[in-house]
Protein backbone atom coordinates (compact mmCIF):
# COMPACT_ATOMS: atom_id res chain seq x y z
CA UNK A 1 0.00 0.00 0.00
CA UNK A 2 1.33 3.38 -1.00
CA UNK A 3 -0.23 6.46 0.56
CA UNK A 4 0.38 10.10 -0.39
CA UNK A 5 -0.33 12.54 2.45
CA UNK A 6 -0.30 16.24 1.54
CA UNK A 7 2.81 15.61 -0.51
CA UNK A 8 4.49 18.32 -2.49
CA UNK A 9 7.15 17.20 -4.88
CA UNK A 10 9.90 19.01 -6.75
CA UNK A 11 13.43 20.31 -6.32
CA UNK A 12 13.48 23.82 -4.80
CA UNK A 13 9.93 24.70 -5.81
CA UNK A 14 6.94 22.39 -5.71
CA UNK A 15 6.16 20.96 -9.15
CA UNK A 16 3.42 18.59 -8.10
CA UNK A 17 1.05 18.51 -5.17
CA UNK A 18 -0.75 15.33 -4.13
CA UNK A 19 -3.29 15.91 -1.40
CA UNK A 20 -4.60 12.42 -0.60
CA UNK A 21 -4.08 9.32 -2.66
CA UNK A 22 -3.89 5.63 -1.79
CA UNK A 23 -2.63 2.96 -4.12
CA UNK A 24 -3.74 -0.49 -2.90
CA UNK A 25 -1.37 -3.47 -3.28
CA UNK A 26 -1.48 -6.31 -5.80
CA UNK A 27 -1.83 -3.93 -8.70
CA UNK A 28 0.34 -2.27 -11.27
CA UNK A 29 -0.12 1.38 -12.10
CA UNK A 30 0.84 3.22 -15.25
CA UNK A 31 2.04 6.79 -14.87
CA UNK A 32 1.15 9.01 -17.81
CA UNK A 33 1.95 12.64 -18.35
CA UNK A 34 3.22 15.00 -20.99
CA UNK A 35 6.90 15.73 -21.52
CA UNK A 36 8.09 18.00 -18.76
CA UNK A 37 5.09 17.34 -16.54
CA UNK A 38 7.38 16.08 -13.78
CA UNK A 39 7.08 12.29 -14.22
CA UNK A 40 10.75 11.66 -13.50
CA UNK A 41 10.73 13.94 -10.47
CA UNK A 42 7.74 12.08 -9.08
CA UNK A 43 9.43 8.71 -9.67
CA UNK A 44 12.66 9.93 -8.07
CA UNK A 45 10.71 10.99 -5.00
CA UNK A 46 8.89 7.67 -4.75
CA UNK A 47 12.14 5.68 -4.91
CA UNK A 48 13.76 7.90 -2.26
CA UNK A 49 16.34 9.54 -4.46
CA UNK A 50 15.16 13.06 -3.69
CA UNK A 51 13.19 14.10 -0.60
CA UNK A 52 9.59 15.32 -0.77
CA UNK A 53 9.46 19.09 -0.16
CA UNK A 54 6.72 18.66 2.40
CA UNK A 55 4.19 16.07 3.46
CA UNK A 56 5.03 12.42 3.08
CA UNK A 57 4.54 9.27 1.05
CA UNK A 58 4.18 6.05 2.98
CA UNK A 59 5.63 3.05 1.16
CA UNK A 60 4.58 -0.17 2.83
CA UNK A 61 4.75 1.50 6.21
CA UNK A 62 7.99 3.46 5.66
CA UNK A 63 8.17 7.18 5.08
CA UNK A 64 9.94 8.23 1.86
CA UNK A 65 11.78 10.89 3.83
CA UNK A 66 13.32 8.06 5.82
CA UNK A 67 14.07 6.05 2.67
CA UNK A 68 15.84 9.12 1.29
CA UNK A 69 18.22 9.15 4.25
CA UNK A 70 18.73 5.47 4.97
CA UNK A 71 19.89 3.61 1.86
CA UNK A 72 19.70 0.18 3.47
CA UNK A 73 16.03 0.67 4.25
CA UNK A 74 15.39 2.02 0.75
CA UNK A 75 16.85 -1.15 -0.77
CA UNK A 76 14.43 -3.27 1.26
CA UNK A 77 11.31 -1.39 0.13
CA UNK A 78 11.79 -0.33 -3.46
CA UNK A 79 13.63 -1.51 -6.57
CA UNK A 80 14.13 0.79 -9.52
CA UNK A 81 14.61 0.23 -13.25
CA UNK A 82 15.89 3.29 -15.11
CA UNK A 83 14.87 3.94 -18.71
CA UNK A 84 18.27 3.11 -20.12
CA UNK A 85 21.02 0.74 -18.98
CA UNK A 86 24.03 1.12 -21.25
CA UNK A 87 25.76 -2.07 -20.12
CA UNK A 88 29.15 -2.41 -18.47
CA UNK A 89 32.28 -3.94 -19.99
CA UNK A 90 33.20 -7.37 -18.63
CA UNK A 91 29.94 -7.56 -16.66
CA UNK A 92 27.97 -10.62 -17.71
CA UNK A 93 24.17 -10.67 -17.72
CA UNK A 94 24.21 -13.26 -14.93
CA UNK A 95 26.54 -11.12 -12.77
CA UNK A 96 24.46 -8.02 -13.49
CA UNK A 97 21.18 -9.61 -12.42
CA UNK A 98 22.94 -11.04 -9.35
CA UNK A 99 23.76 -7.46 -8.25
CA UNK A 100 20.06 -7.16 -7.38
CA UNK A 101 20.74 -9.52 -4.47
CA UNK A 102 23.30 -7.12 -2.95
CA UNK A 103 21.02 -5.88 -0.12
CA UNK A 104 20.80 -9.47 1.15
CA UNK A 105 24.54 -10.21 0.96
CA UNK A 106 27.37 -9.83 3.48
CA UNK A 107 30.26 -7.37 3.07
CA UNK A 108 32.22 -9.75 0.87
CA UNK A 109 29.28 -9.83 -1.54
CA UNK A 110 29.18 -13.64 -1.84
CA UNK A 111 25.95 -15.07 -3.30
CA UNK A 112 24.60 -18.20 -1.65
CA UNK A 113 22.90 -21.12 -3.36
CA UNK A 114 19.41 -19.66 -2.91
CA UNK A 115 20.52 -16.32 -4.35
CA UNK A 116 21.74 -18.09 -7.49
CA UNK A 117 18.48 -20.00 -7.61
CA UNK A 118 16.39 -16.82 -7.46
CA UNK A 119 18.46 -15.32 -10.28
CA UNK A 120 17.99 -18.42 -12.44
CA UNK A 121 14.22 -18.43 -11.87
CA UNK A 122 13.82 -14.80 -12.90
CA UNK A 123 16.09 -15.22 -15.95
CA UNK A 124 13.93 -18.13 -17.03
CA UNK A 125 10.69 -16.21 -16.56
CA UNK A 126 11.95 -13.31 -18.64
CA UNK A 127 13.35 -15.70 -21.28
CA UNK A 128 16.87 -14.32 -21.18
CA UNK A 129 18.46 -17.34 -19.53
CA UNK A 130 20.30 -18.28 -22.74
CA UNK A 131 22.02 -14.89 -22.70
CA UNK A 132 23.33 -15.16 -19.16
CA UNK A 133 26.97 -15.60 -20.17
CA UNK A 134 26.91 -12.60 -22.52
CA UNK A 135 28.45 -9.25 -21.59
CA UNK A 136 25.87 -6.58 -20.82
CA UNK A 137 27.76 -4.18 -23.10
CA UNK A 138 27.10 -6.49 -26.06
CA UNK A 139 23.36 -7.04 -25.56
CA UNK A 140 20.70 -5.24 -27.58
CA UNK A 141 18.77 -2.35 -26.01
CA UNK A 142 15.69 -4.52 -25.53
CA UNK A 143 17.68 -7.35 -23.95
CA UNK A 144 19.28 -4.88 -21.58
CA UNK A 145 15.86 -3.55 -20.64
CA UNK A 146 14.71 -7.06 -19.71
CA UNK A 147 17.99 -7.59 -17.83
CA UNK A 148 17.35 -4.45 -15.76
CA UNK A 149 13.88 -5.71 -14.94
CA UNK A 150 15.36 -9.06 -13.87
CA UNK A 151 17.89 -7.27 -11.64
CA UNK A 152 15.08 -5.34 -9.96
CA UNK A 153 12.89 -8.42 -9.56
CA UNK A 154 15.54 -10.45 -7.72
CA UNK A 155 15.84 -7.58 -5.24
CA UNK A 156 12.49 -8.88 -3.96
CA UNK A 157 11.00 -5.59 -2.73
CA UNK A 158 7.30 -4.82 -2.19
CA UNK A 159 7.47 -1.86 -4.59
CA UNK A 160 8.94 -1.91 -8.09
CA UNK A 161 9.28 1.35 -10.02
CA UNK A 162 10.12 1.42 -13.73
CA UNK A 163 10.90 4.41 -15.92
CA UNK A 164 9.53 3.77 -19.43
CA UNK A 165 10.26 0.03 -19.34
CA UNK A 166 8.77 -0.79 -22.73
CA UNK A 167 10.47 1.87 -24.87
CA UNK A 168 12.97 -0.54 -26.52
CA UNK A 169 10.84 -3.68 -26.51
CA UNK A 170 9.20 -5.35 -29.51
CA UNK A 171 5.51 -6.35 -29.39
CA UNK A 172 6.21 -9.80 -28.02
CA UNK A 173 8.58 -8.68 -25.29
CA UNK A 174 6.20 -5.85 -24.40
CA UNK A 175 3.42 -8.30 -23.63
CA UNK A 176 5.90 -10.63 -21.91
CA UNK A 177 6.94 -7.75 -19.64
CA UNK A 178 3.36 -6.76 -18.76
CA UNK A 179 2.46 -10.39 -18.19
CA UNK A 180 5.43 -10.86 -15.85
CA UNK A 181 4.68 -7.65 -13.94
CA UNK A 182 1.08 -8.79 -13.55
CA UNK A 183 2.33 -12.08 -12.17
CA UNK A 184 4.83 -10.30 -9.93
CA UNK A 185 2.24 -8.07 -8.21
CA UNK A 186 -0.07 -11.03 -7.54
CA UNK A 187 2.52 -12.40 -5.06
CA UNK A 188 0.89 -13.45 -1.76
CA UNK A 189 2.59 -10.68 0.26
CA UNK A 190 1.02 -8.07 -1.99
CA UNK A 191 3.33 -6.08 -4.20
CA UNK A 192 2.95 -2.92 -6.27
CA UNK A 193 4.39 -1.82 -9.61
CA UNK A 194 4.47 1.76 -10.86
CA UNK A 195 5.77 2.37 -14.36
CA UNK A 196 5.86 5.49 -16.46
CA UNK A 197 4.74 5.21 -20.05
CA UNK A 198 3.62 7.14 -23.10
CA UNK A 199 1.58 4.23 -24.40
CA UNK A 200 -1.92 5.31 -23.36
CA UNK A 201 -3.69 2.99 -25.86
CA UNK A 202 -2.06 -0.04 -24.32
CA UNK A 203 -3.07 1.00 -20.78
CA UNK A 204 -6.67 1.47 -21.87
CA UNK A 205 -6.77 -1.79 -23.78
CA UNK A 206 -5.27 -3.79 -20.90
CA UNK A 207 -7.35 -1.89 -18.30
CA UNK A 208 -4.27 -0.90 -16.32
CA UNK A 209 -5.09 1.58 -13.53
CA UNK A 210 -3.54 4.83 -14.69
CA UNK A 211 -2.06 7.74 -12.77
CA UNK A 212 -2.37 10.85 -14.86
CA UNK A 213 0.02 13.68 -14.08
CA UNK A 214 -1.37 16.96 -15.36
CA UNK A 215 -1.80 20.52 -14.13
CA UNK A 216 0.55 19.91 -11.19
CA UNK A 217 -1.71 17.21 -9.80
CA UNK A 218 -1.89 13.44 -9.82
CA UNK A 219 -5.15 11.70 -10.54
CA UNK A 220 -5.93 7.97 -10.49
CA UNK A 221 -8.22 6.36 -13.08
CA UNK A 222 -9.09 2.77 -12.20
CA UNK A 223 -10.34 2.13 -15.72
CA UNK A 224 -9.11 4.95 -17.91
CA UNK A 225 -10.95 5.99 -21.05
CA UNK A 226 -9.18 7.79 -23.83
CA UNK A 227 -11.48 10.78 -23.66
CA UNK A 228 -10.90 11.41 -19.94
CA UNK A 229 -7.14 11.18 -20.13
CA UNK A 230 -6.68 13.08 -23.37
CA UNK A 231 -8.79 15.92 -22.06
CA UNK A 232 -6.65 16.18 -18.94
CA UNK A 233 -3.40 16.02 -20.87
CA UNK A 234 -4.57 18.65 -23.36
CA UNK A 235 -5.41 21.06 -20.56
CA UNK A 236 -1.91 20.63 -19.17
CA UNK A 237 0.02 23.63 -20.34
CA UNK A 238 2.16 23.91 -17.24
CA UNK A 239 5.44 23.18 -18.91
CA UNK A 240 8.32 23.46 -16.53
CA UNK B 1 34.82 -18.96 -6.87
CA UNK B 2 34.70 -20.97 -10.06
CA UNK B 3 37.09 -23.79 -10.96
CA UNK B 4 38.76 -21.60 -13.58
CA UNK B 5 39.57 -19.03 -10.91
CA UNK B 6 41.01 -21.64 -8.56
CA UNK B 7 43.20 -22.93 -11.36
CA UNK B 8 44.39 -19.42 -12.24
CA UNK B 9 45.11 -18.58 -8.59
CA UNK B 10 47.30 -21.68 -8.24
CA UNK B 11 49.00 -20.88 -11.54
CA UNK B 12 49.77 -17.27 -10.63
CA UNK B 13 50.98 -18.11 -7.12
CA UNK B 14 53.33 -20.75 -8.55
CA UNK B 15 54.57 -18.23 -11.10
CA UNK B 16 55.06 -15.67 -8.35
CA UNK B 17 57.17 -18.08 -6.29
CA UNK B 18 59.33 -19.09 -9.25
CA UNK B 19 59.89 -15.45 -10.23
CA UNK B 20 60.72 -14.54 -6.64
CA UNK B 21 63.39 -17.27 -6.56
CA UNK B 22 64.83 -16.02 -9.84
CA UNK B 23 64.75 -12.42 -8.63
CA UNK B 24 66.54 -13.23 -5.39
CA UNK B 25 69.26 -15.25 -7.15
CA UNK B 26 70.10 -12.66 -9.78
CA UNK B 27 72.14 -10.38 -7.55
CA UNK B 28 75.84 -11.21 -7.93
CA UNK B 29 77.39 -13.85 -5.75
CA UNK B 30 80.11 -12.84 -3.31
CA UNK B 31 82.01 -14.32 -0.37
CA UNK B 32 80.24 -16.40 2.28
CA UNK B 33 80.08 -13.74 5.02
CA UNK B 34 78.86 -11.08 2.68
CA UNK B 35 76.25 -13.45 1.27
CA UNK B 36 74.27 -13.53 4.49
CA UNK B 37 74.41 -9.76 4.86
CA UNK B 38 73.48 -9.08 1.26
CA UNK B 39 70.58 -11.51 1.50
CA UNK B 40 68.85 -9.78 4.41
CA UNK B 41 69.97 -6.21 3.78
CA UNK B 42 69.45 -6.01 0.03
CA UNK B 43 67.83 -9.00 -1.61
CA UNK B 44 64.87 -9.52 0.70
CA UNK B 45 63.88 -5.83 1.02
CA UNK B 46 64.09 -5.42 -2.75
CA UNK B 47 62.00 -8.51 -3.38
CA UNK B 48 59.36 -7.39 -0.87
CA UNK B 49 59.35 -3.89 -2.40
CA UNK B 50 58.52 -5.35 -5.78
CA UNK B 51 55.78 -7.60 -4.42
CA UNK B 52 54.14 -4.99 -2.22
CA UNK B 53 54.46 -2.02 -4.57
CA UNK B 54 53.11 -4.04 -7.50
CA UNK B 55 50.12 -5.31 -5.56
CA UNK B 56 49.39 -2.02 -3.76
CA UNK B 57 49.62 0.28 -6.78
CA UNK B 58 47.44 -2.01 -8.87
CA UNK B 59 44.77 -2.19 -6.19
CA UNK B 60 44.93 1.56 -5.73
CA UNK B 61 44.29 1.90 -9.47
CA UNK B 62 41.44 -0.62 -9.34
CA UNK B 63 39.72 1.32 -6.54
CA UNK B 64 40.11 4.61 -8.40
CA UNK B 65 38.75 3.15 -11.63
CA UNK B 66 35.76 1.84 -9.74
CA UNK B 67 35.10 5.08 -7.87
CA UNK B 68 35.68 7.35 -10.87
CA UNK B 69 33.67 5.04 -13.15
CA UNK B 70 36.52 5.37 -15.59
CA UNK B 71 38.91 2.58 -16.66
CA UNK B 72 41.51 5.22 -17.53
CA UNK B 73 41.95 6.31 -13.91
CA UNK B 74 45.10 5.47 -12.00
CA UNK B 75 47.37 7.04 -9.38
CA UNK B 76 50.13 8.01 -11.83
CA UNK B 77 48.16 9.37 -14.77
CA UNK B 78 45.91 11.47 -12.55
CA UNK B 79 48.85 13.13 -10.85
CA UNK B 80 48.25 11.46 -7.48
CA UNK B 81 51.87 10.29 -7.39
CA UNK B 82 53.06 13.75 -8.45
CA UNK B 83 51.15 15.37 -5.62
CA UNK B 84 52.63 12.85 -3.21
CA UNK B 85 56.10 13.59 -4.53
CA UNK B 86 55.54 17.35 -4.26
CA UNK B 87 54.61 16.93 -0.61
CA UNK B 88 57.70 14.79 -0.08
CA UNK B 89 59.89 17.37 -1.80
CA UNK B 90 58.53 19.92 0.65
CA UNK B 91 59.61 17.56 3.43
CA UNK B 92 63.08 16.89 1.99
CA UNK B 93 63.72 20.60 1.64
CA UNK B 94 62.79 21.06 5.26
CA UNK B 95 60.13 23.59 4.48
CA UNK B 96 58.16 21.63 7.02
CA UNK B 97 60.02 20.16 10.00
CA UNK B 98 60.53 16.41 9.83
CA UNK B 99 60.34 15.11 13.35
CA UNK B 100 59.50 11.48 12.88
CA UNK B 101 61.90 10.39 10.17
CA UNK B 102 60.28 8.06 7.72
CA UNK B 103 56.78 8.72 9.05
CA UNK B 104 56.88 12.35 8.06
CA UNK B 105 57.58 11.30 4.46
CA UNK B 106 54.89 8.67 4.41
CA UNK B 107 52.42 11.02 6.10
CA UNK B 108 53.22 13.83 3.68
CA UNK B 109 52.87 11.52 0.69
CA UNK B 110 49.53 10.20 1.93
CA UNK B 111 48.20 13.72 2.52
CA UNK B 112 49.29 14.76 -0.96
CA UNK B 113 47.72 11.64 -2.43
CA UNK B 114 44.44 12.07 -0.58
CA UNK B 115 44.06 15.76 -1.40
CA UNK B 116 44.84 15.25 -5.07
CA UNK B 117 42.69 12.12 -5.36
CA UNK B 118 39.74 14.00 -3.86
CA UNK B 119 40.34 16.90 -6.22
CA UNK B 120 40.49 14.61 -9.24
CA UNK B 121 37.34 12.87 -8.05
CA UNK B 122 35.46 16.18 -8.04
CA UNK B 123 36.81 16.89 -11.53
CA UNK B 124 35.89 13.41 -12.79
CA UNK B 125 32.24 14.03 -12.01
CA UNK B 126 32.23 16.99 -14.38
CA UNK B 127 33.85 15.38 -17.41
CA UNK B 128 31.77 13.08 -19.53
CA UNK B 129 34.18 11.11 -21.66
CA UNK B 130 36.91 8.78 -20.53
CA UNK B 131 39.84 10.46 -22.21
CA UNK B 132 39.22 14.01 -20.93
CA UNK B 133 40.01 12.87 -17.41
CA UNK B 134 43.42 11.67 -18.60
CA UNK B 135 44.19 15.04 -20.15
CA UNK B 136 43.17 16.90 -17.01
CA UNK B 137 45.22 14.49 -14.89
CA UNK B 138 48.23 15.17 -17.11
CA UNK B 139 47.77 18.95 -16.68
CA UNK B 140 47.48 18.49 -12.96
CA UNK B 141 50.65 16.38 -12.86
CA UNK B 142 52.62 18.99 -14.83
CA UNK B 143 51.31 21.70 -12.55
CA UNK B 144 52.55 19.76 -9.52
CA UNK B 145 55.84 19.17 -11.32
CA UNK B 146 56.23 22.88 -11.98
CA UNK B 147 55.78 23.60 -8.30
CA UNK B 148 58.35 21.00 -7.44
CA UNK B 149 60.84 22.60 -9.85
CA UNK B 150 60.34 25.97 -8.23
CA UNK B 151 61.02 24.40 -4.84
CA UNK B 152 64.14 22.73 -6.18
CA UNK B 153 65.61 26.04 -7.21
CA UNK B 154 65.89 26.81 -3.52
CA UNK B 155 67.52 23.47 -2.74
CA UNK B 156 71.15 22.56 -2.32
CA UNK B 157 72.74 20.42 -5.09
CA UNK B 158 72.76 17.48 -2.68
CA UNK B 159 69.01 17.79 -2.05
CA UNK B 160 68.25 18.19 -5.76
CA UNK B 161 70.13 14.97 -6.48
CA UNK B 162 68.24 13.19 -3.70
CA UNK B 163 64.86 14.25 -5.12
CA UNK B 164 65.92 13.52 -8.68
CA UNK B 165 66.98 9.94 -7.93
CA UNK B 166 63.87 9.33 -5.87
CA UNK B 167 61.68 10.61 -8.71
CA UNK B 168 63.05 7.96 -11.06
CA UNK B 169 61.29 5.32 -9.01
CA UNK B 170 63.25 2.46 -7.55
CA UNK B 171 62.77 -0.68 -5.53
CA UNK B 172 66.19 -0.55 -3.84
CA UNK B 173 65.62 2.43 -1.61
CA UNK B 174 63.87 0.41 1.04
CA UNK B 175 66.24 -0.39 3.91
CA UNK B 176 65.85 -3.51 6.04
CA UNK B 177 64.52 -1.61 9.05
CA UNK B 178 61.87 0.10 6.91
CA UNK B 179 60.55 -3.20 5.57
CA UNK B 180 58.12 -3.89 8.46
CA UNK B 181 56.59 -0.43 8.10
CA UNK B 182 56.23 -0.69 4.37
CA UNK B 183 54.59 -4.09 4.78
CA UNK B 184 52.29 -2.69 7.42
CA UNK B 185 51.03 0.22 5.28
CA UNK B 186 50.51 -1.79 2.12
CA UNK B 187 48.96 -4.84 3.78
CA UNK B 188 46.69 -2.59 5.86
CA UNK B 189 45.53 -0.86 2.65
CA UNK B 190 44.84 -4.16 0.93
CA UNK B 191 43.02 -5.67 3.94
CA UNK B 192 40.79 -2.60 4.22
CA UNK B 193 39.42 -3.40 0.76
CA UNK B 194 37.72 -6.60 1.86
CA UNK B 195 34.93 -5.05 3.96
CA UNK B 196 33.92 -2.87 0.98
CA UNK B 197 33.83 -5.54 -1.74
CA UNK B 198 30.04 -5.58 -1.83
CA UNK B 199 30.02 -1.80 -2.25
CA UNK B 200 32.65 -2.01 -5.01
CA UNK B 201 30.44 -4.46 -6.90
CA UNK B 202 27.43 -2.16 -6.54
CA UNK B 203 29.48 0.89 -7.65
CA UNK B 204 29.94 -0.81 -11.03
CA UNK B 205 26.37 0.33 -11.80
CA UNK B 206 27.07 3.91 -10.75
CA UNK B 207 26.45 5.70 -7.48
CA UNK B 208 22.76 6.17 -8.19
CA UNK B 209 22.02 2.48 -8.45
CA UNK B 210 24.45 1.65 -5.64
CA UNK B 211 22.32 3.86 -3.36
CA UNK B 212 19.17 2.01 -4.46
CA UNK B 213 20.94 -1.23 -3.57
CA UNK B 214 21.44 -0.02 0.00
CA UNK B 215 25.06 1.21 -0.20
CA UNK B 216 25.96 4.29 1.88
CA UNK B 217 27.49 6.03 -1.10
CA UNK B 218 29.04 9.04 0.65
CA UNK B 219 30.74 6.92 3.30
CA UNK B 220 32.10 4.43 0.77
CA UNK B 221 33.38 7.24 -1.46
CA UNK B 222 35.56 8.58 1.35
CA UNK B 223 36.73 5.11 2.40
CA UNK B 224 37.79 4.31 -1.18
CA UNK B 225 39.66 7.62 -1.53
CA UNK B 226 41.43 7.00 1.80
CA UNK B 227 42.49 3.44 0.90
CA UNK B 228 43.67 4.52 -2.57
CA UNK B 229 45.66 7.38 -0.98
CA UNK B 230 47.10 5.13 1.73
CA UNK B 231 48.39 2.69 -0.89
CA UNK B 232 49.56 5.16 -3.53
CA UNK B 233 50.98 7.55 -0.90
CA UNK B 234 52.98 5.01 1.08
CA UNK B 235 54.33 3.29 -2.02
CA UNK B 236 55.33 6.63 -3.53
CA UNK B 237 57.08 7.57 -0.29
CA UNK B 238 59.14 4.37 -0.19
CA UNK B 239 59.71 3.70 -3.89
CA UNK B 240 59.13 6.98 -5.72
CA UNK B 241 56.41 7.61 -8.28
CA UNK B 242 56.09 4.38 -10.31
CA UNK B 243 54.45 4.89 -13.69
CA UNK B 244 51.43 3.16 -15.31
CA UNK B 245 51.24 0.07 -13.07
CA UNK B 246 48.07 1.33 -11.35
CA UNK B 247 46.30 2.01 -14.64
CA UNK B 248 47.41 -0.93 -16.76
CA UNK B 249 47.23 -3.88 -14.35
CA UNK B 250 43.53 -3.61 -13.34
CA UNK B 251 42.56 -3.34 -17.03
CA UNK B 252 44.71 -6.34 -17.87
CA UNK B 253 43.15 -8.28 -15.00
CA UNK B 254 39.57 -7.48 -16.03
CA UNK B 255 40.31 -8.50 -19.62
CA UNK B 256 41.88 -11.75 -18.42
CA UNK B 257 39.30 -12.74 -15.79
CA UNK B 258 36.24 -11.37 -17.62
CA UNK B 259 34.35 -10.45 -14.48
CA UNK B 260 33.31 -7.45 -12.40
CA UNK B 261 33.31 -9.38 -9.13
CA UNK B 262 35.69 -7.34 -7.02
CA UNK B 263 36.76 -10.12 -4.66
CA UNK B 264 38.22 -11.92 -7.67
CA UNK B 265 39.51 -8.69 -9.18
CA UNK B 266 41.29 -7.65 -5.98
CA UNK B 267 43.00 -11.03 -5.54
CA UNK B 268 44.13 -11.22 -9.16
CA UNK B 269 45.04 -7.56 -9.52
CA UNK B 270 47.35 -7.95 -6.51
CA UNK B 271 48.92 -11.13 -7.88
CA UNK B 272 49.37 -9.83 -11.43
CA UNK B 273 50.67 -6.46 -10.17
CA UNK B 274 53.29 -8.23 -8.04
CA UNK B 275 54.30 -10.48 -10.91
CA UNK B 276 54.59 -7.51 -13.26
CA UNK B 277 56.94 -5.55 -11.00
CA UNK B 278 58.95 -8.70 -10.24
CA UNK B 279 59.51 -9.32 -13.94
CA UNK B 280 60.42 -5.69 -14.54
CA UNK B 281 62.83 -5.55 -11.60
CA UNK B 282 64.41 -8.88 -12.56
CA UNK B 283 65.04 -7.44 -16.02
CA UNK B 284 66.70 -4.44 -14.41
CA UNK B 285 68.91 -6.74 -12.32
CA UNK B 286 69.81 -8.96 -15.26
CA UNK B 287 70.67 -6.01 -17.51
CA UNK B 288 72.55 -4.23 -14.72
CA UNK B 289 76.08 -5.34 -15.77
CA UNK B 290 75.59 -3.59 -19.12
CA UNK B 291 73.09 -0.83 -18.55
CA UNK B 292 71.44 0.53 -15.44
CA UNK B 293 67.80 1.23 -16.23
CA UNK B 294 65.56 3.25 -13.94
CA UNK B 295 62.36 1.44 -12.95
CA UNK B 296 60.04 3.97 -14.60
CA UNK B 297 61.74 3.58 -17.96
CA UNK B 298 60.62 -0.04 -18.05
CA UNK B 299 57.15 0.32 -16.46
CA UNK B 300 56.34 3.19 -18.82
CA UNK B 301 57.93 1.35 -21.74
CA UNK B 302 55.61 -1.60 -21.19
CA UNK B 303 52.61 0.21 -19.65
CA UNK B 304 52.20 3.21 -21.95
CA UNK B 305 51.70 1.23 -25.19
CA UNK B 306 49.12 -0.95 -23.45
CA UNK B 307 47.23 2.12 -22.21
CA UNK B 308 47.34 3.59 -25.74
CA UNK B 309 45.93 0.30 -27.04
CA UNK B 310 43.10 0.46 -24.48
CA UNK B 311 42.23 3.98 -25.57
CA UNK B 312 42.13 3.03 -29.22
CA UNK B 313 39.95 0.03 -28.42
CA UNK B 314 37.49 2.03 -26.32
CA UNK B 315 36.45 4.19 -29.28
Q: Which domain holds residue A153?
A: 2-235
Asked if residue A202 belongs to a domain, the reply is: yes
Kindly report, residue by residue over A44-96, the tens digit of the pLDDT. 999 999 999 999 999 999 999 999 999 999 999 999 999 889 899 899 999 99
Kindly report, residue by residue over B205-253, the tens digit of the pLDDT. 999 999 999 999 999 999 999 999 999 999 998 898 898 899 999 999 9
Confidence of residue B96 (pLDDT cuts 50, 70, 90): low
- Residue B232 is predicted with a pLDDT of 93
The yes-or-no verdict on residue A240 having pLDDT over 50 is no
Asked if residue A23 belongs to a domain, the reply is: yes
Neighboring chain A residues of B202 at a CB cutoff of 8 Å: 99, 102
Kindly report, residue by residue over B15-54, the tens digit of the pLDDT. 999 999 888 887 655 566 677 777 778 888 999 999 999 9
Q: Where are the domains of chain B?
A: 3-314
Count: domains in chain A: 1
Percent of chain A residues past pLDDT 70, beyond the cut: 98
Neighboring chain B residues of A91 at a CB cutoff of 8 Å: 204, 259-260
Q: Which residues of B touch A (CB under 8 A)?
A: 71, 194-198, 200-202, 204-205, 208-209, 211-217, 254-255, 258-263
Average pLDDT, chain B: 87
SS (H, E, C) chain B: CCHHHHHHHHHHHHHHHHHHHHHHHHCCCCCHHHHHHHHHHHHHHHHHHHHHHHHHHHHHHHHHHHHHCCCCCCCCCCCHHHHHHHHHHHHHCCCCCCCCCHHHHHHHHHHHHHHHHHHHHHHHCCCCCHHHHHHHHHHHHHHHHHHHHHHHCCCCHHHHHHHHHHHCCCCCCCCCCCHHHHHHHHHHHHHHHHHHHHHHHHHCCCHHHHHHCCCCHHHHHHHHHHHHHHHHHHHHHHHCCCCCHHHHHHHHHHHHHCCCCHHHHHHHHHHHHHHHHHHHHHHHHHHCCCCCCCHHHHHHHHHHHHHHHHHHHHC
The yes-or-no verdict on residue A119 having pLDDT over 50 is yes
CA distance to partner chain B, nearest, from residue A62 (Å): 15
Asked if residue A240 belongs to a domain, the reply is: no
Q: Do A95 and B197 lie within an 8 Å CB cutoff?
A: no
The yes-or-no verdict on residue A175 having pLDDT over 50 is yes
Asked if residue A52 belongs to a domain, the reply is: yes
- Residue A150 is predicted with a pLDDT of 96
**ipTM score assigned to the predicted complex:** 0.91
B3-314 CATH, one of 1.10.3470.10, 3.40.640.10, 3.40.50.800, 3.30.365.10: 1.10.3470.10
Kindly report, residue by residue over A14-55, the tens digit of the pLDDT. 889 998 999 999 999 999 998 888 899 999 999 999 999 999
Confidence of residue B99 (pLDDT cuts 50, 70, 90): low
| CATH code of the domain containing A190 | 3.40.50.300
Percent of chain B residues past pLDDT 70, beyond the cut: 94
- Residue B77 is predicted with a pLDDT of 84
CA distance to partner chain B, nearest, from residue A5 (Å): 23
The pTM of the full predicted model, rounded to 2 decimals, is 0.91
Percent of chain B residues past pLDDT 90, beyond the cut: 43
CA distance to partner chain B, nearest, from residue A28 (Å): 20
Amino acid sequence: MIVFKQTSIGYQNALIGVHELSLPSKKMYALIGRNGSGKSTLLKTIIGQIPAISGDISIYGSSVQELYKIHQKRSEKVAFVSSMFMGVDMLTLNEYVGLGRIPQLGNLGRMQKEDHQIVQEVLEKLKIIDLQGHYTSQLSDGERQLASLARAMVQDTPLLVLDEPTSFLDVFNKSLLLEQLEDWVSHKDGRTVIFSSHDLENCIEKEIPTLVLANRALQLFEKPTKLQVMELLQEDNNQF
Amino acid sequence: MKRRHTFLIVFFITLLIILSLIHINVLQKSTEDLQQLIFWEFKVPRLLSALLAGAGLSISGLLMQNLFQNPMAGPYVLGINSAASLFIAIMVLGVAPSFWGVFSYVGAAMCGAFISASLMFVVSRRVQNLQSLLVIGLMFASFMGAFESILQSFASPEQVKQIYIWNMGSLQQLSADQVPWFMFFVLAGISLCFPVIKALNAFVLGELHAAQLGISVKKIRIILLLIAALLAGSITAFCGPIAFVGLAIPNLTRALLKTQDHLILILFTALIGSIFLLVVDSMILILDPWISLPLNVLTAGLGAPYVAYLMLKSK
